Amino acid sequence: MIEKPAGGKDAAKGRVTLRTIAEVTGLSLSTVSLSLRGGTTLKQETRDKVAEAAARLGYVPDRAGVRLRTGKTNVIALVLDSAEDSIDFARQMIQGIGQAIRDTRYHLNVVPEFDRHSSADTIRYILENRTADGVVITHTSPRDSRVQMMIEAEFPFVSHGRTAFGTPHPSHDFHSEAFIDMAVERLAAKGCSSVTLVIGDDSTTNYRTIVDAFHKATAARRIAGTLEDGRRGRTPAQMRSIGLELARQANPPDALICDSELQTIALARGLEEGGVVLGRDMQLIYKQTSGILPTLFPSVDSIREDVFAAGGELTRLLLRRIGGADIGELQTLAEPEPQWRS
């Protein structure tokens, strides 16, 4: 007779099962199963006991079995746009989501998109094969086809960025209108009379939001506002050239606002090559997403977006949507954090 390994562990596969946890804790198999599924009818003491044993034994749910029993995958998919507009964006977003799901039954699958046009195909695959219980998307456009597909399929999702759809959907976004108003107000207080907005990707909703807010903010303060948009160039080399051109203009602007930290580095380099001393000859305010630029230009003002916190908030909204929360409660904005230095 072949003896069963002690503790109910499969010796061949080395896999910890629900039976393993049941034998170790002295609880029934059904109680262990219910506890790991988040059963709120159980005593907290019982749930803690099961959770501790599962963590100590290294229990990993059998996703295939879970899906067969419940129709759920316990997976969240992050479809990550490849846009190079924020330093360290991907890492901070992933870490924020990872922190938010740490004590849940969910796992994260990251799908990097190197071609924005293929992102719709990725969403279509997830919908057709139900490879996730919910989706997070980034860099939304006004009439985003991915959003349209998931709305029509009534599939749980949340977008990092707003859209122009009349039908509401879960979203979390940086409050770009407040970012622009805060920046223009700061420059007006410094006596600037002409400001140029340097902005990148013109295909996103964020682009239109920022441009509209910029025109309103400068007009309200009777400041001359001009636009240097992404159609002229988005690569670092092109942004450096734009900085050099601005520095060499006969009548350069008093100040610049840039919505991308990555582009600001190249822009500032071009300005310096043209002889501009930032903070003296020309003011600059940029959207900060890391700690790199403050090290390079410690006297330049910035307004911070917390991407790590955004990842956590997107996860919170998505889990609530998966749980059936009303969409009207699942639209939030992150307020900008001024970092005045000069």
- Predicted confidence band at 85 (pLDDT cuts at 50, 70, 90)? low
Q: Assign residue 55 a region: left if phi > 0, alpha if psi is -120 to 50, beta otherwise?
A: alpha
Are both 152 and 221 inside the same structural domain? no
Residues 213 and 283 in one domain: yes
- Say what the pLDDT of residue 5 is: 39
| Placement of tokens 């330049």 in the chain | 300
Q: Do 205 and 168 share a domain, yes or no? A: no
| Partners of 194 in beta bridges | 224
Q: In terms of domains, do 95 and 209 share one?
A: no
Indicate whether 298 and 204 sit together in one domain: yes
Asked whether residue 1 is domain-assigned, the answer is no
Let me know whether 126 and 35 are in one domain.
Answer: no
Summarize the chain as % helix, strand, coil (round to 5). Answer: 45, 20, 35
Question: Are 184 and 110 contained in the same domain?
Answer: no
Is 341 part of any domain? Answer: no
Q: Structural domain tally of the chain?
A: 3
pLDDT at 40: 66
Domain span holding position 156: 70-173+307-334
Q: Which of 17, 37, 60 is the last residue of a domain?
A: 60
CATH code at position 56 = 1.10.260.40
CA distance 331 to 159: 9
83 and 153, same domain (yes or no)? yes
For residue 63, what pLDDT is reported?
Answer: 56
Q: Please tell me whether residues 216 and 274 are part of one structural domain.
A: yes
- Per residue in 174-221, pLDDT (tens digit) is 999 999 999 999 999 999 999 999 987 778 899 999 999 999 999 999
| Same-domain check for residues 277 and 318 | no
Q: What is the CATH number of the domain that holds 247?
A: 3.40.50.2300
pLDDT tens digits, 217-255: 999 999 999 998 655 446 888 889 999 999 999 999 999
Assess whether 299 and 316 both reside in one domain: no
Helix axes 29-36, 18-25, angle to 10 degrees: 110
Q: Is residue 214 situated within a structural domain? A: yes
Are 30 and 108 found together in one domain? Answer: no
